[in-house]
Amino acid sequence: MSTIEAPPTAPPLPARVRDDLALRDLVAVLGAGWRDFCAMPQYGLFFGGVYVLTGLAIGYVALAGGEWAWLIPAIAGFPLVAPFVAVGLYEASRRREAGEALSWRGVLGALKGHGDDQILSMGVIVFVAFSFWMIVAHAIFAIFMAESGVGGESLAALLTPAGLAMLTVGSAVGGLMALAFYAMTVISLPMLVDRKVDFLTAIIASFKVMRGNLAMMLVWAAVIAALLFVAMLPAFLGLAIVLPVLGHATWHLYRRTVI
């Protein structure tokens, strides 16, 4: 008896990206992020709280040990881990948009991805990037402060010519690294939550969105940087609100840019 073979499953179509992102889209996604936060604040406050407590712990350890030279790069590089922390927020927004039931198990389980290790692989990249920034920042500190002959045990050292030069160079290097990391993760992590693709495909899509909408994506990067900076001033506490709003908004940005 002959058997009928099932037709082969067609491979998933490659993601297409929009290149017509406008300022009104950024306003819309920010508003959508705020509405998501208000509709399900328990998830936003949880992930925002974890982020705040982690920041406070880093600050306490650095200050208690008298290692303020590590504190400044840690605070500057801390936003690098925000996209990975926000994975659960992407899942919450995805479920709300799709009309699916919201549950802690489903939201927290987003880190497992689609039964693969793609999101966890991105988490490794995030950790490596943060560690690399800390090494680079401390090397810049050591070079400038050693050549100046000024002790680095006091924050007053930052007001010396060597300290100001160190801050200038460190800010420039850190800004370039942050921009590259932003371009790599801003779309890739929401995409990994939404679709069963490998992390390299998601990273490529993120770079395509960045290249096709360079001006608007730079504006969005500036919005993120400004809001995170302001939120970090009151002992990181503002991040409990700003992080989840930006996380939900980033999901909606992904939905507007990847087809």
Least confident of 46-50, 63-67, 215-219: 63-67
Mean pLDDT of 44-51: 91
Q: What is the mean pLDDT of the chain?
A: 84
> What is the length of the chain?
259
Ordered alpha helix ranges (H), 82-117 = 82-85, 87-98, 104-108
> Which residues, listed in sequence order, are joined to residue 258 by a DSSP beta bridge?
17
Q: Using the predicted structure, report yes or no on whether residue 62 has a pLDDT greater than 80.
A: no
pLDDT of residue 131: 85
Mean pLDDT of 25-53: 94
Cα angle: 160, vertex 164, 165; to 5 degrees: 115
Residue 163 included in any domain: yes
Q: Is the dihedral of CA 108, 26, 210, 130 positive or negative?
A: negative
> Which residues, listed in sequence order, are joined to residue 17 by a DSSP beta bridge?
258
pLDDT of residue 59: 74
Residue 43 included in any domain: yes
Residues 80, 130: contact at Cβ < 8 Å? Answer: yes
Residue 13 included in any domain: no
pLDDT of residue 213: 96
**Over the stretch 113-126, which tens digit does the pLDDT of each residue have?**
887 889 988 888 88
pLDDT of residue 4: 44
Domain, as residue range, for 47: 23-257
pLDDT of residue 11: 45
pLDDT of residue 206: 95
Residue 12 included in any domain: no
pLDDT of residue 217: 96
**Over the stretch 163-206, which tens digit does the pLDDT of each residue have?**
788 888 888 888 888 899 999 999 999 999 999 999 999 999 99
Residue 148: pLDDT band with limits 50, 70, 90: low
Residue 148 included in any domain: yes
Residue 8 included in any domain: no
Q: Using the predicted structure, report yes or no on whether residue 69 has a pLDDT greater than 80.
A: no
pLDDT of residue 3: 44
Mean pLDDT of 101-106: 92
Q: Using the predicted structure, report yes or no on whether residue 102 has a pLDDT greater than 50.
A: yes
Q: Using the predicted structure, report yes or no on whether residue 5 has a pLDDT greater than 50.
A: no
Q: Using the predicted structure, report yes or no on whether residue 1 has a pLDDT greater than 50.
A: no
Q: Using the predicted structure, report yes or no on whether residue 150 has a pLDDT greater than 60.
A: no
Q: Tokens for 200?
A: 């390299």
CA dihedral 74, 75, 77, 81 (to 10 degrees): 100
pLDDT of residue 135: 87
Number of neighbours of residue 238 by Cβ within 10 angstroms: 18
pLDDT of residue 37: 97
Residues 84, 126: contact at Cβ < 8 Å? Answer: yes
Residue 4 included in any domain: no
Give the count of domains, the chain: 1
Q: Choose from 10-24, 57-71, 233-247 the range with maximum mean pLDDT.
A: 233-247
Residue 11 included in any domain: no
